[in-house]
Amino acid sequence: MRSTHGRLFDKRQKGELDEEVLAISGQLLQKNPDVYTFWNIRRQALILISQKIATENGDDEAKRDERLAALYKEEMILTEACIQENPKSYGAWLQRGWVLERTPKPEYQFELKLCNLALRLDERNFHCWDHRRIVCRFANIPLEDELKFSDEKVNDNFSNYSAWHYRSSLLARTHPDPDGRLPMDEATLAKELGLATNAFYTDPEDQSAWFYTSWLFDDQHAFAEGPVPVWVTVDRKKSTILLVMSGAVEAKTVGDMIATDADGEWIPADSQAQSSQVWLFKSSSLGPATKVTLSYKALDVQVEDEWTDLDTIRALLAPANPEGSLKTALEKMLASCQELATVEPHNKWPTFIATLCMRRLEAQANHDQILSNLEKKLPKLDPKRAGMYADLANNIKVNRFLVDALAENSRVPDTLRMIRKALITRPPPPRLTWSTPLLISLKDAGSIPAEGGPSPNQGAHPSVGRGIGSSYAANIPATGRPILYQSHQPWPSVASRQRARGAEPATLRDKR
C-alpha cells in the first residue's frame, strides 16, 4: 500500500497524470474512499486525459463522445464500489456528481435506480438524497415526479423522516401559496394535513408526521410585504426620535423612512447590530418647530409627538383567525388530535398539536385551554421539555396582556405617553421582539406586574463559559404571572456605535 501510495505521488510530482495514476488511485480509493487527495488527483488526471481525447479525435464528435463516455463510465464503476464500501463517503458521492456534469452520455435513470437502492439500504442517507436532487436538476426531472417518489417513500414507511423532509422542500415549489403566507396553496395544504393525519393515526409515537403537521399550519410570514413602521415617538425636549418597526431593518431604510432637518444619527437598540426593530435618533437640534416626516409607501405624515399604527399592532398581537378551507382543515386536525389523545393518553403529540391548532384557530377564545395544556398537561406527558412548554406559555401570557392593554376600549393615549417616557430613557434589550418596548413601558407604569425568580430548573447557573452573548434567561416563575425581560443599560452612545463600527474591517460592508 505504501509503495503504491509513493508511486502515485511520484508520478504526480513529475506531472504524469495518466491512466496509471487512475489505476493506482482507484486501487487505493476502493480500500479507503475518504482520502480526498486521491479524488483530487483523479479529477486532474481525468481532465487532462479528456482533453487529450478531444484533441486526438478532432472533428469526429461521435468517436470523441464514445471514448469520453467510456472513460467516465469507469469512474462511475469505481465510485459505485466506493459507495458500497462506505455509503457515506463525501468524496465518492461528490465524484459521481462531478462525472454526471461532464460525461457526454449521462445515464440519469441509472443514477435514480442507484439512489433507490442506496435508500432502500439506508433511507436516511443524506448523501444519497442530495445526489438525487442533483440528478433531478441535471436531468430536468419534473418536481411532480419527485413528489410522487416522496409519496411512495412516505407510504412505505411513515417514520421516514427524510422522505417527509423531501416533500416539504418540493411542495413549496410545486404548489406555492399565491399570497406567500402559507407553506403551499390552501387546497394542497388541506390534502397534506389529511396525509399527515393518516400517518400519525397509523404510528402515533413517531414524530415525523407530527413535525410535518406543525409546519403545515404555522403562520410563516406575518407580513409578506416586509417590516412596517408601527410607532414613532418624538421627544422635542430630549431631542430624540424613537422608531419601532414590525421587523428588523437596516440604518439605510430608517434614513429613507424618516426625514428631518435636525442633525443626528440613528442608533439601533443594540449598538453591535446591523439591523434592528427599534432605532433611536439622537440629536442636538431637534426643537419644537423641527419637522419630522414619516414616509413609507402610501404613508406620508408629519409627526408632532407620536404616531402609531394601532391596527397593525393589534394585527401583529392577534392575527386574524383563519377562514375557509384552512379553518376547516384545522378544525378537522383538532378533532383528530383530541380523539387520538383519548386513545393514547400517554402520548404528548396529540395534545401538543391540538394546542397549536387551538392557538392558530382562535388564540384568544382558546387562551385558557391552551395555557392549561402547556402548563399542566404537557409537562406531565413530556417532562424533559417542561421548560420549553413553560416558555411558550409565558410568551402567550405576555401576548395576552398586550392584547388587553391595547383593546379597542383601552386608554390608548395613556399607554403611548408611558411608552415615550420609558423608551427614550433606555432601550429594550437586544433579544427583543417588536413588542418588547411596549412591555417594558407598561411594566414601568405598573400595568403589568413582573415578579418571580429563577425557576427550579435553572438553579444558580453562572454565566461564565456561555460563549458570545450571555444566556438570555427566561425566568419561569411558579406563579401565573408573566416575566418581562429586564434592561438596565442606557442607550448606546454615538461614540460606542462608532467604536462598534470601527471594530469591523472596512471591507465587511463592501462585500456585496
Per CB under 8 A, does 415 bind another protein?
A: no
Per CB under 8 A, does 148 bind another protein?
A: no
Per CB under 8 A, does 486 bind another protein?
A: no
Per CB under 8 A, does 276 bind another protein?
A: yes
Within 163-182, which residues bind another protein (CB under 8 A)? 165, 168-169
Q: How far is the CB of 285 from another protein (least distance, A)?
A: 29
Size of the site for another protein (CB under 8 A): 74
Nearer to another protein, 349 or 401 (CB): 349
Per CB under 8 A, does 212 bind another protein?
A: yes
Within 7-26, which residues bind another protein (CB under 8 A)? 9, 12-13
Nearer to another protein, 94 or 423 (CB): 94
CA 485 to CA 160: how far, in whole Å?
Answer: 40
Applying CB under 8 A, among 431, 453, 498, 499 the residue interacting with another protein is: 431
Per CB under 8 A, does 502 bind another protein?
A: no
Per CB under 8 A, does 36 bind another protein?
A: yes
Per CB under 8 A, does 403 bind another protein?
A: no
CA 127 to CA 270: how far, in whole Å?
Answer: 40
Nearer to another protein, 308 or 394 (CB): 394
CA 386 to CA 19: how far, in whole Å?
Answer: 62
What is the enclosing helix (H) or strand (E) of 281? strand 275-283
Nearer to another protein, 221 or 238 (CB): 221
C-alpha distances (whole Å) from 61 to each of 58, 64, 66, 67, 469 are 7, 5, 8, 10, 62
Per CB under 8 A, does 504 bind another protein?
A: yes
The mark string for 312-331 relative to another protein (x by CB under 8 A, - otherwise) is --------------------
Q: How many CB atoms lie within 10 A of CB 450?
A: 18
Within 62-101, which residues bind another protein (CB under 8 A)? 90-91, 93-94
Would you give the DSSP letter of residue 105?
S
CA 346 to CA 455: how far, in whole Å?
Answer: 26
Per CB under 8 A, does 130 bind another protein?
A: yes
Among residues 187, 117, 190, 124, the alpha carbon closest in space to that of 157 is found at 124
Per CB under 8 A, does 272 bind another protein?
A: yes
Would you give the DSSP letter of residue 276?
E
Per CB under 8 A, does 124 bind another protein?
A: yes
SS3 462: coil
Nearer to another protein, 103 or 208 (CB): 208
Nearer to another protein, 157 or 364 (CB): 157
Applying CB under 8 A, among 270, 329, 336, 397 the residue interacting with another protein is: 270
Nearer to another protein, 403 or 445 (CB): 403
Per CB under 8 A, does 410 bind another protein?
A: no
Q: How far is the CB of 422 from another protein (least distance, A)?
A: 21
Within 356-385, which residues bind another protein (CB under 8 A)? 383-385
Give the contacts of 33 (CB within 8 A, at least 6 positions apart): 82, 83, 85, 86, 89, 91, 92
CA 74 to CA 80: how far, in whole Å?
Answer: 10
CA 112 to CA 75: how far, in whole Å?
Answer: 17
Would you give the DSSP letter of residue 458?
T
Applying CB under 8 A, among 108, 138, 211, 296 the residue interacting with another protein is: 211
Only one of the segments 144-152, 314-322, 360-368, 500-508 lies at the binding site for another protein (rule: CB under 8 A); that segment is 500-508
Within 452-481, which residues bind another protein (CB under 8 A)? 455, 457-458, 461-462, 464-469, 471-474
Handedness of CA 474, 479, 483, 486 (dihedral sign): negative
Within 39-58, which residues bind another protein (CB under 8 A)? 40-41, 43-44
Q: What is the DSSP string of 24-56?
A: HHHHHHHH-TT-HHHHHHHHHHHHHHHHHHHHH
Among residues 245, 287, 246, the alpha carbon closest in space to that of 266 is found at 245
Q: What is the DSSP string of 209-275?
A: HHHHHHHHTS---S-TT---EEEEEEETTTTEEEEEEEEEEEHHHHHHHEEESS-EEEEESSTT-SE
Task: Specify which residues 280 forms β-bridges with.
Answer: 242, 267
Q: How far is the CB of 481 from another protein (least distance, A)?
A: 18
Per CB under 8 A, does 37 bind another protein?
A: yes
Applying CB under 8 A, among 25, 79, 162, 283 the residue interacting with another protein is: 162
Nearer to another protein, 43 or 481 (CB): 43
The C-alpha cell at 274 is 446591523
Q: How far is the CB of 480 from another protein (least distance, A)?
A: 19
Strand order in the sheet with 258-260: 258-260, 292-296, 299-302
Nearer to another protein, 198 or 458 (CB): 458
